[in-house]
Every structure is written in structure tokens, then in C-alpha cells.
Structure 1
Amino acid sequence: MPSGIRNRNRRTEDGGPSPALPPRERARTGASRGCGVAVRVFVVDEQALFRAGIRHLLSDAEGFELAGEAESAERALHLLQELSPAPDVVLIDPRSEAGAGTVAIRALRSEPAPPDGAVNGADGGNGANGANGVRGGRAPRALAVSVQDDDDSVMAALRAGASGYITKQTSERELLRAIEIVAEGGAVFSPVIAKRLNEYFSTPHTASCRSMFPQLTGRETQVLDLLARGWSNGRIAKDLVLTEKTVRNYVSQILVKLDVHHRAEAVVRAREAGLGVLS
């Protein structure tokens, strides 16, 4: 559970209450997807207390709204089939119910959108719905939220199609920002998860990195390598002297050629092949 939610009434060292988010901070943290357009969030978690905490957090935060909640992955998929419009982001614990959460993440996957349909990652947009039949246009993106941060848990969620992975110790403000990033098509990881990913991929495979993806052009391989280093579209564009739109187009082409649905999946594939490792 996010520490800011779990510890709403915790006392600080000087005896005062530990605040959740002051009004100004809430406003700064709130999503900005256009006038009056809130980020719709669906919560899947076995713990009623965690769901209640997220419910209260979203009601207090500007630019977010709760689209629904479920106590199990099976119930969530059933509700999402009937929900229209579909939520933007589904918060889900991939390790719940003996791995049923990971199965649900895979069910939420959708086909990649055209290049111009993506923001901050070119892995979403108005693509076709997943096999689970989610209604209301683009299928929602999954953000894994768990107390587990071991390699197996993280990699299973990313391979299933999660757009990010954060721990339940994440602060309220960081959680809201993570939701916003995922809603915009980006990938996000809490610091401890990013560290574990770096450790997991610390030793590149011996096979030639470039020969692992013969379907990619030289420029696409170059972009993929920079993605695997964790670079943003803006940084890649600046380094390669390209426009951000051109970089988004490259990313979309990479997703199609690698037959993956999200930017995070492409990064996993690249790092497993040895790309993105600084020499």
C-alpha cells in the first residue's frame, strides 16, 4: 500500500500529523489531459483497505477519477467488459491470487496504435481492443502495484504487458505521477524496481546485439538501444538530431516489428539481447 495512504495518521518526528498531499501539491500532481478530462483509474486488489486508500486518494486528487474496482482479477475482467468508456489505467497486483493478476494484465493487452496516436512512448492510442473485449475504444494500460519487487515478479508483469511496476511503498504523489505517465503511454518504475532491473540486466548476453533483431533497420536498432537505456523520446530526439514525432514513429515501427504492445516490453526484449548496457 502506498505509504502516504497507509500512514495518513502517522505522526512526524516533531509530533505533528504526516500530511497526505497539501492542496497546492495536489494541483501540481493532478493529471493534465485537456480541459475537464480526468484520468480514469480502475483498481484491482484483494485488500479492501488498499482499495479504499486508492479510492480516497483519487477523490482528493485533481484530474483523476475512480472508474471502478474489483477484489479479484476474474471479477475485474468481467466488469471491464461492461465498462464504457474503458478506464485509462488499471492498477493491479500481478502476484495476487497465485499469479492471476499477471494473466489479467496479459488479457488487457491491445494492438499498437498508429504513430501519431501515442504520447510519450508510442505504445498506445486508439488501437484495437484486446481479446477480453474491453469496451470504449483503446484498451486500458496496466500499472503493476505490489509489495513484491523480486526479479521473477517484475519480469513476469512486464512480459505480460504491464506499462510499469511500482511498489506499495510508493508515496501518494509518486503514485499519481506514475498513473499519469502510464495513461499518457509511458513506462514507469519505482526507484527500487529500476535498480533491480539494472541488476537483472547487468550482464549482457554474448550473442551479437545487432543480429538479435535483423528485422530492424540500423536507425531503429539505435533508437531501441537508447530506449533500453531508459532515455525519453525528447532525449533521443536531441541526441540523434531528430524531431520527437520522428522518434515516436521509430518507436511505433519497433513495436510492430518486435511484435510487442508496449514500450516496456520492447525495453525488456532489448535488454535481454544486450542492448542498453553502457560499456
Structure 2
Amino acid sequence: MGLAARLLALAALLGLLGLLGGCSGLRTLDVVTPSSDYQPTQGVAYGLDPRQKLDVYRPTRPLPATPVVVFFYGGTWNSGERGDYRFVAQSLAARGMLVVVADYRLYPQVRYPSFLEDGAQAVAWTYRNIGQYGGDARRLFLMGHSSGGYNAAMLALDPQWLRKAGVPADALRGWVGLAGPYDFLPIENPEAQPVFFFPDSPPESQPINQPLAGSPPALLIAATHDSTVDPVRNSEGLARRLRSAGVAVQERYYRRLNHRTLVASFAWPLRWLAPVVDDVARFVTAHP
């Protein structure tokens, strides 16, 4: 995109960027999201609770042995709706990937670790059923942003959750963390404190405290200037631990992004900010 086009896109979206902290900005991204790259199946139940539902986005131009990405959104385990993240699904479906966006129960309905159990159930449903939608369960990836990145990390790094849901230990080909909190004790965020029983938060709730050895390959992406989740302590810290455990890990850091625009950059009007979608696509296609 040329400079003039970038300036026009930026001017048109200035109001949007100010709204990205809430549902209004996400729904605006949804409005400008193309619908020609996928075929949706919405509101599939993977459990009995009303929050235990997911949407499936089948690519119109799938890759061979179509890889599957299960995406978990952020919201400090207090908020979030799967329908607000169609722009993430579209961006990956346009690259030939099948995408599952899952809701999960939130605080105050539940606390840790119930949302991890929900995530594991969503992955289990995907593993067992995604072949009916054209996806290849042998190419299964997890991805999440912010607290959703935490969920993806815990499901990938602590084998008990997927094992309890009946998913084989070697089912995951990899996982992608977008500005995830992986090392956040003691908890400073007041919204997250009751979720993890602060001040008695269990150490085993932290991704960085997991055994790590033998876990699937990871791609950690963060914004250099992230004032919500410290990229040095979380992404860089976890990357060091993964490497020391012999796990393949890639890192990407972007100066032009912040915590919110990192996930917003999946939307087509904002992709010029950073090649985050390219990073994810390369990571997935590199793990056949």
C-alpha cells in the first residue's frame, strides 16, 4: 500500500482506533471485513452451557491438507464474544486455513481453571469433528490474543487439559501467542485478580512455570510498546524458557503496534501496520 493510500486508510480509521478497547471498535472491524473468503457455520455447541459455542470458518480456497487454527480472544477473562472476531477468521481463511473461534465461560460465572477446561473441550470438538468441515485434524494449531493467548499457551504447555478432554498428547502441530500474559504473578490487574484467587493465586496457573519440554513449536508475537502486557517479561521470558527446554520457538516484535492494534492488524484496512498475518501464515504452513 502506497503512502497516500495508507494516510487515507489511517484518516478513515482514526475514530475506530480510539474504540478498539471495546465492542464498538471490534464491530466496526467486522463491518469492513470481506465475506467472500470463507463459508461460516455459527453457533456450534461443544458443551451444554450457553457460552460453550464456537463458529467454524471454512476457506473458499483451502490449502492442501487444510490446517486448522482454533482462536481464543482476549478480555481479561471478563469479557468477549466470538462474533466480534470474524476479521481474524477472515484473514486466515483467505490464506487457506480453516478457523474455529470459540467462546468460553468468563468471570464471575467461573474462575481459573474453568475457562481452560472450556478451551480444551472446544479443541476436543475440533479434533473430533473438523474433518466434516474439510479441515485436517492432523494439522491443528492454537492461537490467542492477550488472555486468549494465555489460554492457548496453557493448553499447549500443560498437557493435563487436553488429555482430560480426550485429545492425544501429540495432536497439536504448534501454537501462536499474541501479546499473551505468561508470567504475571503477583497479579496487578484488578480485573484479573479475582479470576485467579488473588492473593492466593496458584503458581501452576502460569504458563512459564510449566515443564515445557516436549511441548509443540511456538510463535510468540508482541508489540514493543505494550503497556498492558509487558513483552519483555512475558513473550521474551517465555521464549527463553522454551529454548532452554529444547522447544522450537520464533519471536516477532513490532514497534508500530500496541496491545490492541496487534490483533486489529488482522483486519484488512490495518494490515499495513505490520505483517502479523504473514507471520502466522508462514508459521502454520511451515509445520505440515
Q: Sort the TM-score into its range (normalised by shorter chain).
A: 0.3 to 0.5
Structure having the higher strand fraction is 2
Structure having the higher helix fraction is 1
Q: TM-score, normalised by structure 2?
A: 0.35
